[in-house]
Structure 1
Amino acid sequence: MLIIEHFEHGVAQFPDRAVLIDDNGSMSYKEMAGTAWTIAQALLRIGLPADSSVALLSPNHRMVLACQYGTLKAGAVWVPVNYRNSVFDNVAQLAKYDTRVLFFHSSLREHALAIKAAIPDLRAAICIDMEVEGFPALSDWCQDKAAQELPFPARAMEDPIAILSTGGTTGEPKGAVHTNRSFETVISTIYALFPFDEPPVHLVVAPLTHAAAVFHYALLPRGGTHVLLSSTDPVAVLQAIERHKISVVYLPPTLIYMILAHPRLKEFNLSSLRYLMYGAAPMSVEKLREAAAVFGPILIQSYGQTECLMFTTALTPRDHAEILSNPAIEHRIASVGRSGPFARTEVMTEDGEVAADGEVGEIAFRSSMQMTGFYKDADATNAIRKNGWQFSGDLGRRDADGYIYVVDRKRDMIISGGFNVFPGEVEQVVLGHPSVQDCAVVGTPDDKWGEMVTAVVELKPGSSIDTAEFLTFCKSKLGSVKAPKRVDIWPELPRSTVGKTLRRVVRDHFWANQQRKI
């Protein structure tokens, strides 16, 4: 089935059930279908060809889902955009992906203005929640009662439906192109791993620009209700679980840590939870034990990438329960589980062969969840593929029972709070500070963020630096996710014999006493 047909399957079976609940109330499957239909027809009326890129730039909002469904119904390709990125990043990303339509939230009007100015082939830019100066409101843009209904284009399983942004060590945007086939394989995987005997209620805390948007499609044919939470405050999360009787939630480790530490945790009834999924960043083994004690046997971990979607491996609730109750296998709690139901995940040697048990190599995948390739970048695609395998850039090992352990990162990408940050990009900004002579940006261990973006700087002779001013300088150019949260001043950075700053040596300084290297 096409991905849009999974939504339509839910509409047919659960027309009056709430597909979403947010601060403005609920919206039924039938109402959502009608809204998505009008969006799709509006896209066709502007002559948008099939396979055109349609970007969504917004925090979590009900119209984000409506625009996703409308985009797919119109035969276009959905491009989610991280609204926390800088204007510069978002303009570069959407220009590279040949964006033709932009849906955006009113809070991001400045981004929309910059995108409109930079992309001359942009056919339309529409504000999803209200009319703002220079842009129509979605509700007005869609309405043309006199218009004749246009036929929807025929689509196939191998047609592209999404371009998900990733990157390399340079921080240059790369778009992983996914098809109906790769998304449906994710849906099949989630069906296998998350059995439900009644329609699930899904708390959406994570951004719909990331894994939550992929995950939610698997719940639509089962009549899933998606509760969109506008706050990541731990109490708000706990209140929502109790009030809406949430049965499944995905939380990044950062937020799980905050919930576990909150003094009001025991005040809330969390008995409706059947699955608490975590991933996107490594989770402390100690915190995993604590979470299992608090929430019960409902933890499930996924491991995947933008290039090969979630659940290339899985550590299931049953795995968690067995591991935490059996000292002989308790070491497995540090793993990301075994290959998922529709993926083969292995550790590979430099020669492209499957590594022996216990041998460290690069984690690689073979699955229909893989992207077809990077958008218009065959060289980058070929660089991560060999002998039918797609390589992750993560170093790991496999034990004799098939459990995969991620032990280090081959690439220097930082994962902070579940978001990807590329050191080279941040270093370019840091080096622009008038007091900085040289720098290395690394991820350092942090209980809240997993990795904290840290700038280690060597100052120009006679210069000094004001920490608050420096951090503000970086944030203004990079946005809150990528900007350093900490700056350390070293008298001299380590360098190679040819004078290159050794970022890995700097990073190792901070991780020397850690069990994990990420």
Structure 2
Amino acid sequence: MLVIEHFERGVERFRNRAAVIEGNGSLTYAEMEDRMIRIAQGLLRSDLPLDSSVALLSPNHSMVLACQYGIFKAGMLWVPINYRNSVNDNLAQLAKYDTRLLFFHSSLREHAVAALAALPELKHAICIDAKIDGFPSLSDWFSEPRDVTLAFPIREMEDAVAISSTGGTTGEPKGAIHTNRSFEAVVASVYALFQFDEPPVHLIVAPLTHAAAIFHYALLPRGGTQILLSSTDPLAVLEAIQQHRVSVVYLPPTLIYMVLAHPRLKDFDLSSLRYLLYGAAPMSVDKLREACDVFGPILIQSYGQTECLQFTTVLTPKDHEEILANPDLQHRLASVGRSGPFSRTEVVTEAGEIAADDEMGEIAFRSAMQMTEFYKDPDATAAIRRNGWQFSGDLGRRDADGYIYIVDRKRDMIISGGFNVFPGEVEQVVLGHPAVLDCVVVGIPHEKWGEMVTAAIEVKDGMSIDTAELLALCKERLGSIKAPKQIDIWPELPRSTAGKTLRRAVRDHYWAGMDRKI
């Protein structure tokens, strides 16, 4: 099926069911279909060529979904843009992907003004949520009569449908091109892994520029209702789960930590949850155990990338349950699971061979979920493709039972005194401290060692930490080479719009003003 046909099947079967709920308002499947068609017709009336890049720049909003559906229906390429990027970063992405039309939220008018002035290829900018001076609004498109004679383009499974940027804060973005086929592989994975007795209720907390904008297609033919939150406040998450009887939610590890630490956690009825999906970053083993105690056997971990989407590996609810019941399997909590149902995921050595059990190498994929190429960047595409594998840039190992353990990003490895130190391994120990809410480990400049292992931590509200005591604990657990030599307490660690802690931003803080970066 084409990606848009998953939504259209939901319309056929659940016309009067709520497709999306946002604040106090909602849209049924039939109402959303009407908006999709009007948006698609507006795009076709704009005289844009087939496969034109159409960007979406907005915080979570119901019209983000409507525009995404309309872009697909019109046979054009959906380009999600991170609304928290700077104007210059977003201009670089819009230019890189030859964007012809921009849908934007009124709060981002500055970006739209700058884009129209700087990019001659950009012909239109449409405000999705309001009427503002100088720009047409989406509501103007809705006022146009539907043209029943207008034919929509016929698309194929291998046609490109999206360009997703791999780096949300870089002036040199790379755009991963995905097709109907790669989206459908994600949908098939969700069908294989998630079972529902009734139409699911899906809470979307992370931005619709990220995984939720793809994951939710698998819920549409089942009558899924999308609950949109514009806030990542843990209290808002708990309130939404209880109010809407949410059955599935994706949360990045950092937000799970905040929910677990919230003083009112036990005040809420969370019994409606069938699945708590987590991913995007390694999760503390100690906090994962705590989450399983709080939520029960409903956690499911997914590992993927912009270049190879979701569910390249999976740690299922059954895996979590079996691990927690057997002390001999506890080490598997540190894994990202085994290959997903529609992916072969392996660890590959520098020599290009499949690594032996527990041998270090780079994680690589073979899957329909992987991108076809980087947009107009054959050199970057070739750099991650070798011998039929697409390489992730993540270092890891696989155990004898097929469970894969991510050690760290290749680029984040710390070299201290000539020894390799992987931040993720150190972070696991620091995060095990009951007062630590979140942690980032980086190498900072040091005259003798080159880089000094340093932990930047965020402490739970109402708690305190003796840093000397924590340093001693790390040394005991990790040894003198890997253990942090310095622990700094930050009032709040920097995070992405998806809630992922930004190690690179922490590292840049410590290396500011230095002539070297390694």
Shift of the alpha carbon at 1:178?
A: 0.1
Q: How does 1:206-225 map to 2 (within 5 A)?
A: 206-225=206-225
Q: How does 1:422-461 map to 2 (within 5 A)?
A: 445=427, 448=437, 451=440
**Does residue 501 of the first structure (1) align with residue 490 of the second (2)?**
no
Q: Residues of 2 paired with 1:86 and 1:245: CA distance?
A: 36
Q: Residues of 2 paired with 1:176 and 1:36: CA distance?
A: 25
Pick closer, same or farther for the CA change 1:412–1:486 going to 2, 3 Å. Answer: closer
Q: Residues of 2 paired with 1:457 and 1:168: CA distance?
A: 29
Indicate the residue corresponding to 1:308 in structure 2.
Answer: 308
Write out per-residue CA displacement over residues 431-468 of structure 1, whole angstroms, 9 at most, x where no aligned residue.
xxxxxxxxxxx99957555537898699xxxxxxxxxx
Shift of the alpha carbon at 1:230?
A: 2.0
Q: Is the 8 A contact 2:323 2:333 kept in 1?
A: yes
Q: Which amino acid in 1 is paired with 2:516?
A: T
Shift of the alpha carbon at 1:485?
A: 5.6
Pick closer, same or farther for the CA change 1:386–1:82 going to 2, 3 Å. Answer: same
**Does residue 279 of the first structure (1) align with residue 279 of the second (2)?**
yes
Q: Which amino acid in 1 is paired with 2:140?
A: D
Q: Is the 8 A contact 1:55 1:94 kept in 2?
A: yes
Shift of the alpha carbon at 1:209?
A: 0.3
Q: Residues of 1 paired with 2:229 and 2:242: CA distance?
A: 13
Shift of the alpha carbon at 1:380?
A: 0.4
Q: Which amino acid in 1 is paired with 2:312?
A: T
Which runs of 5 or more residues in structure 2 are unaligned? Answer: 415-422, 448-489
Pick closer, same or farther for the CA change 1:234–1:78 going to 2, 3 Å. Answer: same
Q: Residues of 2 paired with 1:492 and 1:45: CA distance?
A: 51
Indicate the residue corresponding to 2:344 in structure 1.
Answer: 344
Shift of the alpha carbon at 1:143?
A: 3.0
Shift of the alpha carbon at 1:234?
A: 1.1
> How many residues are matched?
451
Q: Which amino acid in 2 is paired with 1:303?
A: Y
Q: Which amino acid in 2 is paired with 1:128?
A: I
Indicate the residue corresponding to 2:233 in structure 1.
Answer: 233
Larger displacement relative to structure 2 (97-106 or 403-412): 403-412
Indicate the residue corresponding to 1:130 in structure 2.
Answer: 130
Indicate the residue corresponding to 1:180 in structure 2.
Answer: 180
Q: Which amino acid in 2 is paired with 1:118?
A: A
Write out per-residue CA displacement over residues 334-373 of structure 1, whole angstroms, 9 at most, x where no aligned residue.
0000000000000001121101001000000000000000
Q: Is the 8 A contact 1:456 1:487 kept in 2?
A: no
Specify the SS of the correspondent of 1:311: strand
Pick closer, same or farther for the CA change 1:21–1:114 going to 2, 3 Å. Answer: same
Q: Is the 8 A contact 2:38 2:144 kept in 1?
A: no
Indicate the residue corresponding to 2:49 in structure 1.
Answer: 49
Pick closer, same or farther for the CA change 1:485–1:364 going to 2, 3 Å. Answer: closer
Pick closer, same or farther for the CA change 1:126–1:491 going to 2, 3 Å. Answer: closer
Larger displacement relative to structure 2 (480-489 or 89-98): 480-489
Specify the SS of the correspondent of 2:311: coil
Indicate the residue corresponding to 1:192 in structure 2.
Answer: 192
Q: Is the 8 A contact 2:88 2:171 kept in 1?
A: no
Larger displacement relative to structure 2 (393-402 or 138-147): 138-147
Specify the SS of the correspondent of 2:396: strand
Shift of the alpha carbon at 1:117?
A: 1.1
Q: Residues of 1 paired with 2:511 and 2:190: CA distance?
A: 48
Shift of the alpha carbon at 1:487?
A: 7.8
Q: Residues of 1 paired with 2:355 and 2:392: CA distance?
A: 15
Q: Which amino acid in 2 is paired with 1:152?
A: F
Pick closer, same or farther for the CA change 1:241–1:136 going to 2, 3 Å. Answer: same
Q: Residues of 2 paired with 1:401 and 1:239: CA distance?
A: 40
Pick closer, same or farther for the CA change 1:198–1:261 going to 2, 3 Å. Answer: same
Q: Is the 8 A contact 1:455 1:487 kept in 2?
A: no
Q: Is the 8 A contact 1:297 1:318 kept in 2?
A: yes
Pick closer, same or farther for the CA change 1:457–1:121 going to 2, 3 Å. Answer: farther
Shift of the alpha carbon at 1:145?
A: 2.7
Q: Which amino acid in 2 is paired with 1:239?
A: E
Q: Residues of 2 paired with 1:38 and 1:389: CA distance?
A: 41
Indicate the residue corresponding to 2:420 in structure 1.
Answer: none
Pick closer, same or farther for the CA change 1:103–1:335 going to 2, 3 Å. Answer: same
Indicate the residue corresponding to 1:18 in structure 2.
Answer: 18
Shift of the alpha carbon at 1:403?
A: 0.1
Q: Residues of 1 paired with 2:269 and 2:120: CA distance?
A: 53
Which runs of 5 or more residues in structure 1 are unaligned? Answer: 415-441, 459-470, 494-499, 504-518
Shift of the alpha carbon at 1:180?
A: 0.1
Q: Residues of 1 paired with 2:197 and 2:106: CA distance?
A: 39
Instruction: Name the % identity.
Output: 70
Q: Residues of 1 paired with 2:399 and 2:51: CA distance?
A: 43
Pick closer, same or farther for the CA change 1:169–1:453 going to 2, 3 Å. Answer: farther
Specify the SS of the correspondent of 2:219: helix
Indicate the residue corresponding to 2:28 in structure 1.
Answer: 28
Write out per-residue CA displacement over residues 298-336 of structure 1, whole angstroms, 9 at most, x where no aligned residue.
000000100001100000000001111101111000000
Indicate the residue corresponding to 1:418 in structure 2.
Answer: none
Q: Which amino acid in 2 is paired with 1:217?
A: Y
Indicate the residue corresponding to 1:150 in structure 2.
Answer: 150
Q: Which amino acid in 1 is paired with 2:61?
A: H
Q: Is the 8 A contact 2:201 2:224 kept in 1?
A: yes
Write out per-residue CA displacement over residues 238-273 of structure 1, whole angstroms, 9 at most, x where no aligned residue.
111011000000001111101101111000000000
Q: Is the 8 A contact 1:45 1:150 kept in 2?
A: no
Q: Which amino acid in 1 is paired with 2:410?
A: K
Shift of the alpha carbon at 1:411?
A: 2.4
Q: Residues of 1 paired with 2:342 and 2:99: CA distance?
A: 32
Specify the SS of the correspondent of 2:366: strand
Indicate the residue corresponding to 2:379 in structure 1.
Answer: 379
Pick closer, same or farther for the CA change 1:327–1:26 going to 2, 3 Å. Answer: same
Q: Is the 8 A contact 1:102 1:125 kept in 2?
A: yes
Alpha-carbon RMSD across the aligned residues, in angstroms, is 2.7
Q: Is the 8 A contact 1:453 1:484 kept in 2?
A: no
Shift of the alpha carbon at 1:121?
A: 1.5
Indicate the residue corresponding to 1:422 in structure 2.
Answer: none
Q: Is the 8 A contact 2:186 2:309 kept in 1?
A: yes
Write out per-residue CA displacement over residues 66-98 of structure 1, whole angstroms, 9 at most, x where no aligned residue.
000000000001000100111010000010000
Shift of the alpha carbon at 1:131?
A: 1.3
Q: Residues of 2 paired with 1:328 and 1:203: CA distance?
A: 35
Q: Is the 8 A contact 2:346 2:363 kept in 1?
A: yes
Q: Is the 8 A contact 1:168 1:174 kept in 2?
A: no
